[in-house]
Amino acid sequence: MEDMKQLIETTEATLTPYFKVIEETAFVNQEKVLDAFHAVKATESDLQGTTGYGYDDFGRDHLEEIYAHTFKAEDALVRPQIISGTHAITIALQSTLKYGDELLYITGNPYDTLLEVIGINGNGIESLKEHGVHYNKVDLKNGDINIQEVLKQINDQTKVIAIQRSKGYDQRPSINLDVIENAIKQIKAQHPNIIIFVDNCYGEFVEQREPIECGADLIAGSLIKNPGGGLAKIGGYIAGKKDLIARCGYRLTAPGIGKEAGASLNSLQEMYQGFFLAPHVVSQSLKGALFTSLLLEKMEMRTNPRYDEPRTDLIQTVAFENKEQMIRFCQSIQQASPINAHFSPEPAYMPGYEDDVIMAAGTFVQGSSIELSADGPIRPPFEAYVQGGLTYEHVKLAVSRAAHHLKSQQLI
Ligand SMILES: *Cc1c(COP(=O)(O)O)cnc(C)c1O
């Protein structure tokens, strides 16, 4: 145990300058969010929701302006009726892609749940494919967007180009905003009318800019990840060009109604407060990710990214030798959770995922991955995705204990 304490101390000493950089980013983003609250004159009565149709829901409308202002978008849709990140992305894709159009993913395979949305996997019902939308993808080349190949694959049908910023459950690097900006510039120079969509899940507030500032037309994400700040209990957002957001509104509710209706019930207070806290909470998660990366690296495990690499999302990958190590690690994270710590997760089928998934998450909000969670599909190379953490201290405790368990059970 004594050498564990020593290991933690040297880990934190090495991380000090990197933590400073994370704090600077949190400060810049906190100011952006505060300025957005001031720009819309956020008022106490905005925190009260509406019922029924939700007409004249000024709190909802102001919150959407706050998102738009912060992300430098013309407009935004931020709703409890958007049930998840997948739902937000689905609305964005369905409302921009019509019969005969092509969707081109340029960051390799999309996130698991989107494979069924597009119609690559699953029964195809109501997929983009069933609606006559074609799909194509360009894989990353040496971890980078292969822009030459992208430009070659674009054709008259290419309507939307999709970029997934975070690696999600894939073994590729996440794509930072400089790379995204460069790709968008080159695409737009030749094809100014193509809609650039960015799946921004896990990316919000990790860098000092967001994808719209890098030329994206439309972005989407989940409120039980970064922008909900750990407080939002449900919701998704889409932000971008005004005409595209209007379309998304029609798709979410009904043509003619759009974003004018949709009661916010009791969701607004936590969505406002969560967005206000989000830059700081994201910084806590990031510090936790760096700690996880370096501590486990010191214990001779393979972690990605390394602690000293610049980040664009919250995902920390830890690679295990085998299934047992991976399952034990995730179970230890669960044991250090505030809720359901006395339950032990087992790999199981999850709707939308092809392989069995283990999910360690003793979270206040079900499935929330801005709260500390460790999960991954049980398939070689047995990589667990460790993300989130409302406080750095909690991540430090949980990961230190998990590392200690693996060691004391001679699994590493
Ligand atoms: C989490 C995630 C999604 C889907 O979000 P859910 O809220 O789980 O539906 C999509 N893309 C990426 C990159 C993600 O990380």
* Ligand 1 pocket check for 90: Cβ under 6 Å: no
Q: Which amino acid is at 87?
A: H
CB-based contact 364:391 (threshold 8 Å): no
Q: Whose Cα sits closest to atom 13 in ligand 1?
A: 168
Q: Which two tokens stand for residue 40?
A: 């819309």
Instruction: Give the position, in ligand 1's atom list, of the atom nearest the Cα of 89.
Output: 10
Q: What is the pLDDT of residues 88-100, one digit of tens each?
A: 999 999 999 999 9
Q: What is the pLDDT of residues 131-154, one digit of tens each?
A: 999 999 999 999 999 999 999 999
* Residue 410 pLDDT exceeds 90: no
- Could you give the CA distance from residue 155 to residue 49 in angstroms, rounded to a whole number? 46
Beta strand ranges found along 74-128 (DSSP E) = 75-79, 102-105
CB-based contact 230:271 (threshold 8 Å): no
Q: Which two tokens stand for residue 18?
A: 């990197």
CB-based contact 318:303 (threshold 8 Å): yes
Token pair 């700690």 in the structure block, residue: 291
Q: What is the pLDDT of residues 363-407, one digit of tens each?
A: 999 999 999 999 988 988 899 999 999 999 999 999 999 999 998
Q: Whose Cα sits closest to atom 6 in ligand 1?
A: 85
Instruction: Give the position, in ligand 1's atom list, of the atom nearest the Cα of 111.
Output: 11
Give the residue among 393, 392, 338 at the shortest CA–CA distance from 361: 338
pLDDT computed for residue 351 by the predictor = 75
Mean pLDDT, residues 305-321 taken together: 95
pTM of structure: 0.96
Distance 179 CA to ligand 1 centre (A): 21
Mutation probe of ligand 1 site: the residue of 86, 90, 369 with most atoms within 8 A of C-beta: 86
Distance 248 CA to ligand 1 centre (A): 18
Mean pLDDT, residues 339-354 taken together: 88
Q: What is the pLDDT of residues 280-291, one digit of tens each?
A: 999 999 999 999
Token pair 């699953």 in the structure block, residue: 122
* Ligand 1 pocket check for 222: Cβ under 6 Å: yes
Q: Which two tokens stand for residue 335?
A: 């044991």
* Ligand 1 pocket check for 200: Cβ under 6 Å: no
* Domains of the chain, start order: 2-27+276-408 (3.90.1150.60), 52-264 (3.40.640.10)
| Share above pLDDT 70 across residues of the chain, in percent, rounded to a whole number | 99
